Structure 1
Amino acid sequence: MENSSNVRILTVCTGNICRSPVAERMLQAGLDAVRSGTFLVASAGTLAVVGAPVQLPSARIIESRGGRPDGFAARQLTPEMLRGADIVLTMTASHRSAVVRLEPSALKRTFTIREFARMLKALEERDAGPAPDADLVTWWKALPQRAAAVRHLALVNDAADNDVADPYRLGPEAYQRMEDELAPAVLTILRFAHRTAPAGV
């Protein structure tokens, strides 16, 4: 994630084996369909099971949503990863707090993924025309600032609605809940990417 000619997105959960890999692989597959090679999505965990593959139920969700779970190995979140990311999407508010404690400079680029999706909906309703033809990367790198400007339009009454529940070591119902909370947010981000892509992309 060092190439400045790409939009670099980092998804974050705890172990980096259930929630953030699903977000990573779904986002990557969908954003590749917007403009291949423009977006680089990675993930990490605040207490990662370093080197572990995606949990099997999460891998099945990735496959069912058009992504590929193979070749994955969990990584521990580091300040360097956060400094290299243009947008950081966490699974819960507590993960967002952990990100900012680890790398304070990431504050204005870090959101829970469900909150970020609601912000993009608000941007769409306000003024989301297509990105400039020549510089999609720069447009996306500036997106956190524009999203933060409509945060007040994306507030929820229950703070839990910002979080994606952790299914680790739980049964199929927990993984279904995770998918039900996470997938709509990912799909909202992808829909926004398609709708704001320059003509001809």
Structure 2
Amino acid sequence: MESPEPVRILTVCTGNVCRSPVAERLLQAGLNQVLPGGFEVRSAGTRALVGDPVQPLSADIIYMFGGTAEGFAARQLTGRILRPADLVLTMSSSHRGEVLQLDASLLKRTFTIREFARMLDVLQERESTTAGGGYQFDGRRYADPISANTALWRSLPARAASVRHLSLAAEAADNDVIDPYRRSADYYRQMEDELAPAIISVLRFARLNAPAHSSQ
């Protein structure tokens, strides 16, 4: 019997040393608590500083929120890395454009992380996706919680996009996370202020909609 496939999430920024590693490591840490083995979160950069570790001030943020920056090495975004992603969360609208230049088929699965978080907040208010019992989603029954969870998250981009008109940013810049690379600690604090609420929204949605009877 084949092992159930996890939800594959890819976070994307420029150098893959400041923003997307924070998103990767904190999403992975939080999602592991929701459903162990249910999610695989990785990251890459559109102009990556290949092989570099997480920038120290970004690593501090990761540790402060309970994640780990150990063993990280920046990698360049490629079509091969993009292909298996169920969901691509970028740190800015320009990164989203670069993702789609590499693979236009990801159009409906790629969002800026702040935009996606707002959509999930609206979606959670409008509907409950939690199954009533067993490993169920969308009227189907699954053999295990990971398969049910993967089915839910693979349907999520289309459902989230359906409420985009209810979650528009006041300004276009509100979709982006500032790039603090080679800048002062104040910019890292701004990055944290913009990115952390989005991560929290994604984790809250995952927790509230975890398959019934899953390990939590």
**Other-structure match for 2:197:** 184
Tell me the distance in 2 between the aligned counterparts of 1:84 and 1:49: 22
Q: Give, as a single letter, the amino acid of the residue that structure 2 aligns with 1:63.
A: Y
The TM-score, its normalising length taken from structure 2, stands at 0.90
Instruction: Find the partner of 1:163 among 159, 176, 182.
Output: 176
**Other-structure match for 1:46:** 46
Tell me the distance in 2 between the aligned counterparts of 1:4 and 1:144: 20
SS at match of 2:11: strand
1:16-39 per-position Cα deviation (integer Å, ceiling 9, x unaligned): 000000000000000000110110
**Other-structure match for 1:123:** 123
**Other-structure match for 1:95:** 95
Gaps of 5+ in 2: 136-141, 143-147
Superposition RMSD in Å:
1.2
Tell me the distance in 1 between the aligned counterparts of 2:105 and 2:82: 8
**Other-structure match for 2:206:** 193
Tell me the distance in 2 between the aligned counterparts of 1:152 and 1:80: 32
Larger radius of gyration: 2
1:38-95 per-position Cα deviation (integer Å, ceiling 9, x unaligned): 1000000000000000000000000001100000000000011111100000000000
Tell me the distance in 1 between the aligned counterparts of 2:62 and 2:212: 29
Instruction: Find the partner of 2:150 among 137, 143, 159.
Output: 137
Q: Is the 8 A contact 1:83 1:105 kept in 2?
A: no
Tell me the distance in 2 between the aligned counterparts of 1:4 and 1:154: 33
Tell me the distance in 2 between the aligned counterparts of 1:126 and 1:87: 21
Distance apart, 1:199 and its partner CA: 2.7
Q: Give, as a single letter, the amino acid of the residue that structure 2 aligns with 1:166.
A: D
Q: Is the 8 A contact 1:9 1:85 kept in 2?
A: yes
Tell me the distance in 1 between the aligned counterparts of 2:175 and 2:12: 14
**Other-structure match for 1:107:** 107
Distance apart, 1:4 and its partner CA: 6.9
Distance apart, 1:157 and its partner CA: 2.3
Q: Give, as a single letter, the amino acid of the residue that structure 1 aligns with 2:93.
A: A
The answer to whether 1:56 aligns with 2:56 is yes
**Other-structure match for 1:153:** 166
Q: Alignment identity in percent? A: 60
The TM-score, its normalising length taken from structure 1, stands at 0.96
Distance apart, 1:100 and its partner CA: 0.5
**Other-structure match for 2:185:** 172
SS at match of 2:34: coil
Tell me the distance in 2 between the aligned counterparts of 1:33 and 1:193: 10
Superposition pairs of residues 11-90 of structure 1, within 5 angstroms: 11-90=11-90
Distance apart, 1:114 and its partner CA: 0.2
SS at match of 1:142: helix
Tell me the distance in 1 between the aligned counterparts of 2:128 and 2:81: 29
SS at match of 1:33: helix
